[in-house]
Chains A and B, each alone.
Chain A
Amino acid sequence: MTAVITVPASLDEPQFEQVLDQLAAVPADAKLLVDARHCRFATPYGLTGLLCLAQSRAERPDFAPPEDDDVRSYWARSQFFAHAEGLYTIRGTVPRRTGGNSDVLLEVTPVRDTGDVTAVVARIQEQAAHILTRTLDLEPRSTMLFSMTLSEAASNVIEHAGGGGWVMVQRYDWSKRRVGREVVQIAVADAGMGFRRSLEGSRARAVADRWDDAVALETGVVQGVSRFGDPGRGQGLKGIRGYVSKVDGKLTIRSGTARIAPIIPPWEEDRALRTGLAAFPGAQMHIVIPRRLATP
């Protein structure tokens, strides 16, 4: 029997939890149909999350794509279908990628090795730097720090996930939201071993009274502990936290059954740590960078 996972009409980070809640109720070896027919909006976090979902299953799931032509077109331009075809059995036909979308700064891109990370950085520097400069009002040299953040996040997938992952970058006009300005969202997601397993052999684990996904996230993200004993390790996440904090951005990382928000800006309300979430493999990082405020 096939279990149906319904993708909500709007698929951003909070709504992806609804997908995972449904998934938690389904046996690990059950045949799945991921039904996105009524989905009207998906962010990089949602799209990369759906790819991770397929990777987490023993049996190749089915996928029912959105019915709305505009939505299907956007998903195609974002390269979602191109990658989903390798992971899902797609019911029906989906459009080929046609034309670009200037709001998509980086389409859904696989990250499997160092060359992929270098290519992602080159792509942002060569093709999206001018958009970042305009959208975020970054000084041209600050796009380097943006790319550095992207690079560190993608490198973490290679070094710690034990398998490949996905990255996507998209800009949005959030002038009607509380933040009141344009933002760029970065999603970096994998369905690998996650923080808890990655840090299982660390000294921090050895001396911990309690060890679960939440403790592992705090250990890795806040304390900067790496599974490698080298004292220079942990620089990547430290750099990401520093940059996101400096630009008034938001950072969240979900792994296993926990989610940590080490950087919560004044324009957003969130909980620093959530526990007891539906289990999902790997780690899913979400970064939101708002446009720089004009200095008075």
Chain B
Amino acid sequence: MTTFDLASALAASAGVPQPHLVTRPVGAAIRLLIERQLDALAAGTVAVLDFSGIGVLDRSCADEFVAKLMLPREGATPARDGFVMLRGLHDGHLDAIEAVLETHGLALVVQLPDGATRLVGAVTATERALWEQVMMGASAAVEELAAVVGLAADEVHDQLDGLVRRRLLRRSDGGVVPLGAHAA
């Protein structure tokens, strides 16, 4: 994992002396900065965007930064590579991020202050249940997951494929694993 301190990145970028992510131009500037750094990471690396030092995040900026960062990274043939997690978010950040993710049908993994992780954005109950099972460190064997969530094995297979395409899980040794550590 590689962590990016957004407040430091914002301070380093020209003309943004305040620790607030507001307006579309600021969102676009920080996205370009982070995209360059993500592109330089080894394939499969998980990037953690740390919002701890950020004050206000408005929806316009969240759309320009977070949503547009993720849009090229998901789907069957993504234009860009890389996995992204968020941490250091307060309720105001979450309000803005969830709103823009839902608008675009996106979702992200968020790490809470206690180290636990959860999904935010547009996810179905089935996706969430499967993701939580994988997070719990349960066997990622399709048959066992199917039994836990009450779906047919081929449906579980499709759902897990979808979670990988959406960058919410990773492929590993033919199975799926969380972006970060398993839940304790």
Binding site for B on A (CB under 8 A): 114-115, 117-119, 121-122, 125, 141-142, 144-145, 147-148, 151-152, 155, 158-159, 231-233, 235-236, 238-239, 242
Contact = CB atoms under 8 A, between A and B. Distances in A.
Nearest to B18: A122
Contact of A236 (B26, B58, B95, B103): B58
A54 B104 CA distance: 41
Interface in B38-70: 55-60, 62-64, 67-68
A22 B68 CA distance: 47
Nearest to B92: A144
A158 B18 CA distance: 19
A151 B100 contact: no
Contact of A141 (B64, B91, B103): B91
Given A118-B23, A232-B63, A151 B58 contact: yes
The 10 closest A-B pairs by CB, nearest first: A144-B92, A235-B59, A232-B63, A151-B22, A122-B18, A239-B59, A151-B58, A147-B56, A148-B58, A114-B23
Contact of A125 (B24, B55, B91): B55
B94 to A, nearest CB: 10
A152 B20 CA distance: 13
A235 B60 CA distance: 6
Contacts of A114: 23, 25-26
Most buried by A among B16, B57, B59: B59
A144 B26 contact: no
B60 A119 contact: no
Given A118-B23, A141-B91, A151 B104 contact: no
Contacts of A115: 15
Nearest to A153: B58
Contact of A148 (B16, B26, B63, B96): B96
Contacts of B93: 144
A231 B103 contact: yes
Interface of B: 15-16, 18, 20, 22-26, 55-60, 62-64, 67-68, 90-93, 95-96, 99-100, 103-104
Nearest to A117: B23
Contacts, number: 91
A24 to B, nearest CB: 34
B58 A152 contact: yes
Dominant secondary structure of chain B at its interface with chain A: helix
B23 A158 contact: yes
26 contacts: A114-B25, A115-B15, A118-B20, A118-B22, A118-B23, A118-B26, A121-B18, A121-B55, A141-B92, A144-B56, A144-B57, A144-B91, A145-B95, A148-B57, A148-B59, A148-B92, A148-B95, A151-B60, A155-B58, A159-B24, A232-B64, A232-B68, A235-B100, A239-B58, A239-B96, A239-B99
A121 B22 contact: yes
A39 to B, nearest CB: 34
B92 A155 contact: no
Contact of A155 (B15, B16, B23): B23
A147 B92 CA distance: 10
B56 A151 contact: yes
Nearest to B63: A232
B105 to A, nearest CB: 10
Contacts of A235: 59-60, 62-63, 99-100, 103
A232 B92 contact: no
Contacts of B95: 145, 148
A118 B16 contact: yes
B22 A117 contact: yes
Contacts of B16: 118
A125 B56 contact: yes
Contact of B60 (A142, A147, A155): A155
Nearest to B22: A151
Contact of B103 (A125, A159, A232): A232
Contacts of B58: 148, 151-152, 155, 236, 239
B20, B93, B100, most chain A CB atoms within 10 A? B20
Contacts of A142: 92
Given A121-B56, A159-B24, 8 more contacts: A118-B26, A151-B56, A155-B22, A233-B63, A235-B60, A236-B58, A236-B59, A239-B58
Contacts of B63: 232-233, 235
A159 B55 CA distance: 22
Among B57, B58, B68, B93, residue most surrounded by chain A Cβ atoms (within 10 Å): B58
